[in-house]
Structure 1
Amino acid sequence: MRVAITGGHGFLGWHTACRLRALHGVDAVRLGRAELDDPQALGDLLSDVDAVLHVAGVNRAGTDDEVERGNVALAETLAAALAAAGRPVGVVFANSVQAELDNPYGRGKARAAEILSGAVGATGGSFADILLPNLYGEHGRPGYNSFVATFAHEVAAGRTPHLSGDREIALLHAQDAAAALISAIGTDTRTVVGAESIGIGEVLALFQEFHDLYVPAAEVPDISTPMRRNLFNTYRAAAFPEMWPVSPQVHADNRGDLFETVRAHGGTGMAFMSTTHPGQKRGEHYHLHKVERFFVVKGEAEVQLRRLLHDDVVTFRLSGDTPSFVDMPTLWVHNIRNVGETELITMFWSDQLLDQANPDQFPEAIAQEALA
C-alpha cells in the first residue's frame, strides 16, 4: 500500500508516518509545504498512491482570515492535484471537532471537507472525514500545536508557565489520532473521535509532579493510566536530550558499591541485566509507548539514539566507572554498544512486562541507510 501524508513533517503527520512504519510496514510519502505549492507537481506525486491522509492545516496565522483561508487553500490545492492525477484515490481528512463551530478555524476546516469530498467523489475515490479533538504528544511545538506542548517545554526547562484560566478539555494522544486516520483508509465515513477530558490545571500539575520526581534522580512517577503515561512521555520528549546522562549517588563500603537504578511510584515494570562482548551491540529498535532505561553497571558503552524519520543521531558515552543511565524516549531508535575492551554489564528497566503478542518493539537500525 502506498500512502501519502500532507503535512507529513508536522506534528500529527510525523506521528502518523511513524505508526504506519511501526505497525503496517509502510513508509509514507511525506509531503510538505513545497509540494503543496504546485498542484500539477503534487498530482504527479500522487499518481501511484493508494491513499492520501490530508493532515496539513493552518492552526495559527497573523489574522483570523488567514487561518480560515489557509485551510481552504490547502484543500483546493489537494483537490486540484487529485483531479490532475485522474484516477480514484482514497482520502482521509484530519478534520477538527471545531468544524462544527462557527469560528475561523472551524469554518475553514468545514469548507475544506466539502471541497475534498467533492473532488474525491468526482474521481470515484473514498472519502473519510475524521473529526479530531485537541491533540498532544511527543515533539509538539510549544506555542503552536497545543497548550500541552507549551507546558511540557516550560516545565522541562525549569519554568512555571502562566495559567490564565482553567477548564476541562478533551485531549487525544497523537498516536491515537494516527490510529483513527489509518483505520479510516478506504472507507466512506464521517467520524468524531472521542477523547478523555482533563483539566488544563491538572495537566500543568502533572507536568510539575513529573519534573519534581524526574529531574533530581530520574525517578519514574505514577504512570499507571494511559493519560499519565502519555503525558509523561510528552514531558520526557521535551526534556530530551539535555538532562542525560544521570549519575546516581554511589554508596561504597568494603563490600563494594551500591546504587539505585530505578525507583517507580506506580504501575508494573520489569528489570533485567545483560552482558555484551567488546564490539557487540544491542537494541536497534524503537517503541511507541514503552518507558525504558539503560543503566551501565560495568564497562564502557556508547548509546545512540535517532528520532524516527529524522537523520540526526544523539550519542552518549556511559561508563561503569561512573555508574550512569539514560532513558529512551518513545519513537526514537536506540542501541547500546560495547566500546571497551572488557565485558559490558547493563541493567535494563521498562514500565511494562513483556507481552510476546504485543511487545511494543519495532526493529530499525540507527544507520542512515535504514531511512532509504
Structure 2
Amino acid sequence: MRILISGYNGFLGKHLIRRLKCLKEEFDIDVLTKADFESNKLIKKISPNDIIFHFAGVNRDINDSVVFKKNNTLNESLLSALKKVKFKGKLLFTSSVQENSGILYGKAKKNARLKFEEYSNSLGYKFYGIISPNIFGPFCKPNYNSFIATFSSMLINKQTPTIEEDKVVDLIYVDDFINEIIKIINSDSEISLKTNMIFNYSVSDTLTKLNSFNDLYCKYSQIPKIDSYFDLCLFNTFRSYIKISSFFPKYHKENYDHRGSFSELTRAFSMGQTSFSISKKGVVRGNHFHTRKIERFSVIKGKAKIQLREILSDNKCEFIIDGDKPSYVDIPVWHTHNIQNIGDEDLITVFWTNEHYNEDTSDTYLENV
C-alpha cells in the first residue's frame, strides 16, 4: 500500500506523516513536490492504486487573483495526471468553509473539489472531498490561515494581538482531523467530521484564554486550568510557539531558613500526577514522544542532560541541569526527549504530567532523540 502526500511540508502534511509514524502498521510513503507539479513528473510518481492525500495549495499571495490562478494550475496538473495514469485508487482533497464566501481562494477550492468528484465518476477512483472548518494545532504557520497560530506567536513574542472582526468560529484540532481522514487507508466507508470534534468559540473568547495562558505560564511558570479538551488542545498549540532553547531551563525558587530550604515544583490549576525517579550514573530514560501530554522534568539532585528533538526535524535542543540549582524543563508535544545522568552520584528527577498514567492509553511513542 503506497501513500502519496502533496503539501507534505505544510501544516497538514507534516501532521499526517507524524501520525502515521505512531501507527503500528508500516506504510510506503512518498511525497508530491512542487517540482513534480511544475514539470509533468506527476504521471511518473502516481500509480493507479495509490492513496493520495492532496493538501498542496496557496492560501496567500500578492493578490487574490494570483491565489486563484496558482490553485487552479496546481489542481489541473493533478487532474491531468490522474486521467493519464487511469487512476483507480483513493484521493482525499481538503477544501475550505470559505468555498461560498465570495473570495477567490474559496472559489478555487470549490472548483477543484467539484472537478475531482466529476473525474472520480468517470475514472472510477474513490474520492473524499472534505470541507473543513478552521484547523488549528501545534506548528501551524502564524500570519497565514489560523488566527490561533497568529495570536499565540504574537503573545509569545511580547506583541499585542488585535481583533479585526469578532465572530464565532468553527474550529477543529489538527489531531482530530488527521485521525479521521486516515481512516480511508484501511476502509472504503465515508468519513465525516463529527459534531463532537468541532469547537465553537468566538475570536475574543479564544484570545482571552490565550492571554490567560501567557500570563500564568510564561510570566509565572504556572500550569493553567486545562480541564476541558479544547483548553488542552489550545494550550498545547500555544506552547508550540515557545522557543525552547531560550525559554528553558527555569529555576525553581529556593526559600532558605535555619532549617534548610523549600521549593515549590509545580503550581497547576488542573489535575495531574507527580512521580520521581532515581537514575544511576550513565542511565538514560525516555527516547519517546507524546502527542497530548504536558510533562515537566524537575532535576533536584545530581547532574542531568536533557535532550529534545521535534519529530520530522534534525534539530536537537540540549540542556545541562545541576541539582545544586534545582530547575526544570517542560516537554512540548511531538518532541522526542530523554534525560541522562551525566554525574557521579544518583540523579533524582521529579516528573509532573497533566494526566494520570494509564498503560492502555499512555500516549507514548518510541523514537530516539
Do Structure 1 and Structure 2 share a fold, with TM-score over 0.5? yes
> Alignment partner for residue 266 of structure 2, among 262, 267, 273?
262
What's the RMSD between the two structures over aligned residues?
Answer: 2.0
Return the offset for 1:123: 3.9
Deviates more, 1:98-107 or 1:164-173: 98-107
1:221 maps to 224
Contact persistence 1:279–1:338 (CA under 8 A): yes
Contact persistence 2:32–2:45 (CA under 8 A): no
Alignment of 1:174-193 (within 5 A): 174-185=174-185, 186-187=187-188, 189=190, 191=192
The answer on 1:284 being equivalent to 2:287 is yes
Return the offset for 1:191: 4.2
* 1:106-159 Cα distance to aligned partner (Å, 9 max, x none): 211111112322444444321111111011111111111311111001111122
Contact persistence 2:180–2:193 (CA under 8 A): no
Return the offset for 1:55: 1.1
Q: Structure 2: which amino acid aligns with 1:330?
A: V
Separation in 2, partners of 1:74, 1:361: 38
TM-score (norm 2): 0.92
Q: Structure 1: which amino acid aligns with 2:366?
A: P
Q: Structure 2: which amino acid aligns with 1:153?
A: S
Return the offset for 1:246: 0.6
Return the offset for 1:361: 0.9
Return the offset for 1:61: 1.5
> Alignment partner for residue 332 of structure 1, among 309, 331, 335?
335
User: Closer, same or farther in 2 for the Cα pair 1:198/1:92, shift >3 Å?
Assistant: same
The answer on 1:231 being equivalent to 2:234 is yes
* 1:194-233 Cα distance to aligned partner (Å, 9 max, x none): 4211011111111110111112342100011111111111
Alignment of 1:123-202 (within 5 A): 123-185=123-185, 186-187=187-188, 189=190, 191=192, 194=195, 195-202=198-205
Identity level (%): 33
For residue 57 of structure 1, give the secondary structure of its aligned residue in structure 2: coil
Separation in 1, partners of 2:343, 2:35: 46
For residue 251 of structure 1, give the secondary structure of its aligned residue in structure 2: strand
* 1:315-355 Cα distance to aligned partner (Å, 9 max, x none): 11111111111111111111111122221111111101112
User: Closer, same or farther in 2 for the Cα pair 1:33/1:218, shift >3 Å?
Assistant: farther
Separation in 2, partners of 1:192, 1:22: 21
Return the offset for 1:84: 4.2
Contact persistence 1:91–1:125 (CA under 8 A): yes
Contact persistence 1:9–1:32 (CA under 8 A): no
For residue 210 of structure 2, give the secondary structure of its aligned residue in structure 1: helix
Contact persistence 2:48–2:86 (CA under 8 A): no
2:254 maps to 250
Return the offset for 1:48: 8.1
Aligned residues: 364
TM-score (norm 1): 0.91
1:92 maps to 92
The answer on 1:68 being equivalent to 2:71 is no
For residue 61 of structure 1, give the secondary structure of its aligned residue in structure 2: coil
User: Closer, same or farther in 2 for the Cα pair 1:314/1:42, shift >3 Å?
Assistant: farther
Q: Which structure 2 segments of 5+ residues have no match? A: none
The answer on 1:36 being equivalent to 2:37 is yes
User: Closer, same or farther in 2 for the Cα pair 1:190/1:253, shift >3 Å?
Assistant: closer
Deviates more, 1:230-239 or 1:119-128: 119-128
Q: Which structure 1 segments of 5+ residues have no match? A: 367-372
2:10 maps to 10
Alignment of 1:282-321 (within 5 A): 282-321=285-324
The answer on 1:323 being equivalent to 2:351 is no
